[in-house]
A and B are shown apart, each in its own frame.
Chain A
Amino acid sequence: MLQPTDIKNPAYFHKVVDCQWACPAHTPVPEYIRLIAARRYADAYMVNWESNVFPGILGRTCDRPCEPACRRGRVEDEPVAICRLKRVAADHKGDIRARLPRPVTKKNGKRVALVGAGPASLTVARDLLPLGYDVVCFDGDPQGGGMMRTQIPKFRLPEPVIDEEVGYILDLGLETRFGQRIDSMKWLLGQGFDAIFVGSGAPRGRDLDIPGRKETAANVHVGIDWLSSVSFGHITKIGRRVIVLGGGNTAMDCCRTSRRLGGEEVHVVVRSGFEEMKASPWEKEDAMHEDIPIHNFLVPKSFTHEAGRLTGVMFEKVKPEFDAKGRRSLMPTGEPDVHMACDDVLVAVGQENAFPWIERDAGIEFDKWGMPKVDAATMQSSLPHVFFGGDAAFGPKNIIWAVAHGRDAAISIDKHCQHEDVSQRPPPGFKMISQKMGIHEWSYDNDISNDLRFKVPLRDKAVALKDVRLEVELGFDEKQAFAESQRCLNCDAQTVFTHSLCIECDACTDICPVDCITFANNGTEQDLRTRLSAPSKNLTQDLYVSDALKTTRVLIKDEDMCLHCGLCAERCPTGAWDMQKSLIQMAHAGHECRSSSNA
């Protein structure tokens, strides 16, 4: 028998807000989308800035784990364009500097060092500076931003956007040591910092050691090194025919950059199948839109060359085969090898961590793969005052994960410096606010739009391909943004049930457009899922179960397809259903999460 759902536990309703739950930084997505619909762009920006620090950057580049999770994608073809709406907030916000924290003059006497000035470190700085910490940030590069500046091509992320959002953090009083690489952890440990945060990224691009590699060195480039050379302006040209090896986001950036630097016939070649490529579907779409074919099931065998010049790449044709356990391996098809001629090759087959500057006897433990041992919740290493985050912690991920790590690490560093137990994590802020304004009026717009996802307008291809620094996406205008915002289902407008008010009239069951609601005798979850109004196959979504009603039955609501339309509450004669906004905000470093001030 299922127990009544504990809706006082913030995690229950948080999980219903699929996007917020999936976002590593737990950005309150529907909240900012409603603000955009209300043309309150600056407010929408600040909701984002508080959660994810780089709304303008992320609104253009985020890996958007929220979108595959978005409920809208379960009831129709495509999720809400959550990411590109974020950009709208950034584009239209106006000047928000007055709303940012001011540099703190009264310092708390604690000093924190940051290694690297990527998004992870900058997030730590953003969270600690307002608390009075002295924060010193070291980076070998001359400017802050990490790979956001050095790797992500400018046609996706223009420099002024980086300057602006990195600038907001520098302006909080960050002490920068840009141009200074840390060569020894032992040295840094000796500098008397109260805490050290390592946000040095995963800087090494994997090479492809196959025959012909040495002979063709002049025209075979490691993708991420090549991209940063392009970013810094050291490389401005590439051959007419280019082959990009690899199927991740580096590969996609390499091929699209090549098209802008003179590559006319640019081909991407991947070992595995098209579907299994690491790049997101929209990245593949963008590449193909720029006339870049993607070839699959081809394993590079050798770089061919003639008279000391690269002539092309030889591939073996393979096909996937599955063993009894369903594991896939790539087996040669036995067909003749395929040769593809080219002038340049970009190798984008993966990225690795490297910590040549951390002495292995400095007190920080590493595992057998050469990765530091880091606690996933606290980001603490085996040396209590050294913390890791971003790509340096668990291998290459993305910006939003770097931010999430930074936020967690900042909490830990603050607790550590205040001599508190870092393993005691503060709970999120959690509020439920009734949305009822009248009999059928809610303080959110429950009449959702039937429109399909709107496409972000692009710059004309011929123009875009001429300039590697010209942003290709134009962003939604206000009208498009409004229309897209209306697709959001307001998943934070929660259906809250009061069992003592229910007269079991069935009105809610009858009206629910997606058959979420069932009144039935209680049972085990497995059994109940076979007895609901509609098939209940999505086990990742919870069942909301009430206390026993007058007839001894219980209410069971399958959260899976709920549109948050509020019709159940509108049709309920007794107010047993209410629509309440769940406001969940992750804790951040500061007084409210220190236990001493809780007491």
Chain B
Amino acid sequence: MTYIAKPRFRHPDLPKNTLGFTRRDYEGAVSTLCAGCGHDSISAAIIQACFDLDLPPHRIAKLSGIGCSSKTPTYFLGNSHGFNSVHGRMPSVLTGANLANRDLIYLGVSGDGDSASIGLGQFAHAMRRGVNMVYIVENNGVYGLTKGQFSATSDKGSKSKRGVINMDAPIDLVSMALQLGATFIARSFSGDKTQLVPLIQAALEHKGSAFIDCISPCVAFNNHPGSTKSFDYVREHNEAVNRLDVMVGRSEITADYAPGTVEMVTQHDGSVLRLRKLTADYDPHDRVSAMTYLQRRQEAGEIVTGLLYVDPEPDDLHVYMNTIERPLNELGEQELCPGPKALDKLNAALR
């Protein structure tokens, strides 16, 4: 960690977004994680994505569990709402918050231990309920905060820093999310921000449950030879199926691509995703073939990254439950106390 506060001075020519903020206005406190931790890069990517999308910081709620990864919300979006929940319980707190106030943008930040070990049940239910949120797992294959024990996403055969081989089969959160009905699913790598930032942007624009599994090397306990979550290993085995550009007003990218290699996906909120295919036959709209593809490549030892599945017109929990449009804290006496007539009617129905 670092003891001095990050200087307030910024580059004078730093661009401003339509809200008049620079990227630095989306920062939080200085990180206390180990120097070089992949999680810090993910924080930087979240900052960049929120800046690019002109998101008002006070309209974002960041929720997390316990772990180095779950500590990171302190290190970005210092002017947003935050809730640091119990280990593995972020999904239920987020679901509750979302039900109470659907107007905020929900960003769940978790770790592989937090989501795949202790919080696996919570993870699964948030995915299948279609909570409108971005759920990022900062996946380093270990419990970083408790000094590097294997987590449930650690690959079979991966070697710990002490030389112990992991014998348990790994949980693949991407496959689970596919199976459980999440409507936006991606995998990325903390060491590749050109891939990660647009994925976070697209997830933030997605109106449904968006899940990103982001491999994030733990430099202290899981970045050695023999680990399958080290910088070197991930760089060597990374197979991106596509590249994504998110078209947001200010940053229109104009470039020509060979026909058939580009697909434009318009999401519910009007945002346009431009998918440049790197693997010709990969179709990110077909859940079943995506699952098959992932299993095959995984077996071949590859780490498949990119936008793996997207449903551009998803429904979410509020639709399923037919809830009121307005946040609960905006409801007045009128809406909350419909009066004796309504009560009589209700009582009559129960007789």
A residues in contact (CB < 8 Å) with B = 74-76, 440, 446-448, 450, 503-507, 509-511, 513-515, 534-535, 537, 550-551, 561, 563, 565, 567, 570-574
Contact = CB atoms under 8 A, between A and B. Distances in A.
B337 to A, nearest CB: 51
Given A446-B4, A567-B2, A573-B219, A507 B37 contact: yes
B11 A534 contact: yes
B36 A563 contact: no
Given A510-B41, A513-B6, A513-B9, A570 B35 contact: yes
A450 B8 contact: yes
A503 B13 contact: no
B9 A510 contact: no
A202 B5 CA distance: 52
A527 B41 CA distance: 25
B296 interface: no
A534 B38 CA distance: 22
Interface residues of B, number: 36
A551 to B, nearest CB: 7
Residue in B12, B35, B223 whose Cβ sees the most chain A Cβ within 10 Å: B35
B35 A507 contact: yes
B303 to A, nearest CB: 16
B1 interface: yes
23 contacts: A440-B2, A446-B4, A450-B9, A503-B219, A504-B231, A505-B36, A505-B41, A505-B217, A505-B231, A506-B190, A511-B2, A513-B6, A513-B7, A513-B8, A513-B10, A514-B11, A515-B14, A534-B11, A550-B235, A561-B11, A565-B4, A567-B4, A567-B6
Contacts of B35: 507, 570-573
Interface in B65-103: none
A514 B9 contact: yes
A534 B8 contact: no
B191 interface: yes
B30 to A, nearest CB: 8
A535 B13 contact: yes
CB-CB nearest 7 A-B residue pairs: A573-B36, A510-B44, A535-B13, A534-B11, A447-B4, A505-B36, A75-B9
B215 to A, nearest CB: 13
A158 B227 CA distance: 72
Nearest to A74: B12
Given A75-B12, A570-B35, A510 B40 contact: yes
B276 interface: no
A483 B230 CA distance: 45
A515 B11 contact: yes
Contact of A504 (B7, B8, B24, B191): B191
Contacts of B223: 503
A534 B219 CA distance: 27
A573 B231 contact: no
A504 B8 CA distance: 25
B43 interface: yes
Contacts of B12: 74-75, 561
A565 B5 CA distance: 10
A565 B7 contact: yes
Nearest to B223: A503
A31 B231 CA distance: 40
Given A505-B41, A506-B41, A573 B34 contact: yes
A534 B13 contact: yes
B14 A534 contact: yes
Nearest to A558: B11
A380 to B, nearest CB: 44
A440 B1 contact: yes
Nearest to A537: B13
Nearest to B193: A506
Interface string B190-203: 11010000000000
B44 A448 contact: no
A514 B231 contact: no
A469 to B, nearest CB: 42
A513 B38 CA distance: 18
B139 to A, nearest CB: 16
A178 B149 CA distance: 84
A15 to B, nearest CB: 20
B7 to A, nearest CB: 5
A506 B2 contact: no
A574 B9 contact: no
A563 B34 CA distance: 22
Contacts of B217: 505
Nearest to B7: A513
B172 to A, nearest CB: 24
Contacts of B36: 503, 505, 507, 571-574
Interface of B: 1-15, 24, 30-31, 34-38, 40-41, 43-44, 190-191, 193, 217, 219, 223, 231-232, 235
A436 to B, nearest CB: 13
A563 B7 contact: yes
B40 A514 contact: no
A570 B2 contact: yes
A152 B125 CA distance: 82
A503 to B, nearest CB: 5
Contacts of B232: 503, 550
Contacts of A503: 36, 219, 223, 231-232
A75 B8 CA distance: 10
A535 B11 CA distance: 9
Residue in A76, A509, A537, A571 whose Cβ sees the most chain B Cβ within 10 Å: A571
A51 B288 CA distance: 76
A507 B7 contact: no
Given A505-B38, A570-B35, A573-B34, A511 B11 contact: no
Contacts of A504: 191, 231
Contacts of A561: 11-12
B121 to A, nearest CB: 33
B9 A563 contact: yes
A571 B2 CA distance: 7
A537 B11 CA distance: 11
Contacts of B13: 534-535, 537
B40 A507 contact: yes
Contacts of A565: 4, 6-7
Given A510-B40, A572-B36, A505 B219 contact: yes
B204 to A, nearest CB: 19
Contacts of A550: 232, 235
A570 B36 CA distance: 10
A511 B76 CA distance: 12
Contacts of B190: 506
A76 B9 contact: yes
B340 to A, nearest CB: 60
Residue in A503, A505, A509, A572 whose Cβ sees the most chain B Cβ within 10 Å: A505
B164 to A, nearest CB: 23
A506 B44 contact: yes
Contacts of B10: 513-515
Contacts of B219: 503, 505, 573
Contacts of A551: 235
Nearest to B1: A440
Given A505-B36, A506-B191, A571-B2, 6 more contacts: A513-B9, A535-B15, A551-B235, A561-B12, A571-B36, A572-B35
Nearest to A569: B35
Residue in B4, B31, B40 whose Cβ sees the most chain A Cβ within 10 Å: B4
A74 B8 CA distance: 14
Contacts of A507: 35-37, 40-41
B17 to A, nearest CB: 15
Nearest to A507: B36
Contacts of A76: 9
A292 to B, nearest CB: 34
A511 B2 CA distance: 10
A536 B192 CA distance: 23
A268 B328 CA distance: 70
Nearest to B44: A510
B152 to A, nearest CB: 24
A561 B43 CA distance: 23
A534 B15 CA distance: 8
